[in-house]
A = this chain, B = another copy of it.
Amino acid sequence: MKELEERIRRDGIVKPGNVLKVDAFLNHQCDVKLFDQMGREWARLFAGKQIDKILTIEASGIGIACVAARHFGDVPVVFAKKAQSINLDGDQYVTKVYSFTKQREFPVIVSKRFLNPGEHVLLIDDFLANGKAMEGLIELCHEAGVVVEGIGIAIEKGFQDGGAKLREAGYDLQSLAIVDSMNPDTGAITFREA
């Protein structure tokens, strides 16, 4: 998606260790107009699919998913939680994933009430790198008996293996920008051709 690639080039910051900072518009400060364009693009890419619900994971996925849902007939957005709370009770689907960004393992939790067997779900997140968070969401979906219709990612790090694994497993993965390489010395970013 041209608008997203241009924005990454303009406001993204390449850091050593394969870190791409996009906190100016994606995951700390949010450009909701861009989110709306992203939602429209996913609606085009997943056109014809039955999407009953969008599932994402806190925190950065939430804003993107909620704005995008407006392009999917205002379907409910469920966000998986990464910590227990006294407000979370009753039956839950729970798994654990390791975050390289946070450098620790954390739980991924969804109340069973919000994933109903037979529902068709679109998974959305801001980043895909090694795919651990997405694997966690998919595991919960399988446990719940919901159908994963597709996966919408804003920025995929194409030089890590999360995307390849999901595509090989047969998922309809639509990443709006795929970074194939980036250079922390020059700041240069190479995107995969669509």
- Judge whether A186 is part of the interface by a CB distance below 8 angstroms: no
CB distance from A51 to the nearest CB of B (A): 13
Mark out the residues of chain A between 27 and 79 whose CB falls within 8 Å of any chain B CB in the assembled complex: 27-33, 35-36, 58-59, 62-67, 69-70, 74-79
Mark out the residues of chain A between 119 and 170 whose CB falls within 8 Å of any chain B CB in the assembled complex: none
- Say whether, besides A31-B76, A66-B67, A102 and B83 are in contact (CB < 8 Å): yes
In the complex, A78 Cα to B63 Cα: how many Å? 11
Chain B residues within 8 Å of A114, by CB: 23-24, 28-29
Chain B residues within 8 Å of A19, by CB: 86-87
Inter-subunit contact B87/A30 (CB<8 Å): no
Chain B residues within 8 Å of A77, by CB: 29-30, 32, 63
- Judge whether A96 is part of the interface by a CB distance below 8 angstroms: no
- Judge whether A81 is part of the interface by a CB distance below 8 angstroms: yes
Inter-subunit contact A36/B101 (CB<8 Å): no
CB distance from A84 to the nearest CB of B (A): 9
Task: Closest B residue to A64 by CB, please name it.
Answer: B66
Inter-subunit contact A85/B101 (CB<8 Å): yes
Inter-subunit contact B76/A29 (CB<8 Å): yes
Chain B residues within 8 Å of A76, by CB: 29-32
Q: Pick the residue among B36, B69, B81 that contacts A28 (CB under 8 A).
A: B81
Chain B residues within 8 Å of A24, by CB: 113-114
Inter-subunit contact B59/A86 (CB<8 Å): no
Chain B residues within 8 Å of A83, by CB: 102
9 further contact pairs, Cβ within 8 A, besides A24-B114, A62-B62, A64-B66 = A28-B111, A29-B78, A29-B114, A30-B77, A58-B59, A67-B70, A83-B102, A85-B102, A86-B102
Could you list 10 examples of A-B contacts with CB < 8 Å?
A: A21-B87, A24-B113, A28-B88, A28-B110, A28-B114, A29-B78, A30-B62, A36-B74, A59-B59, A63-B77
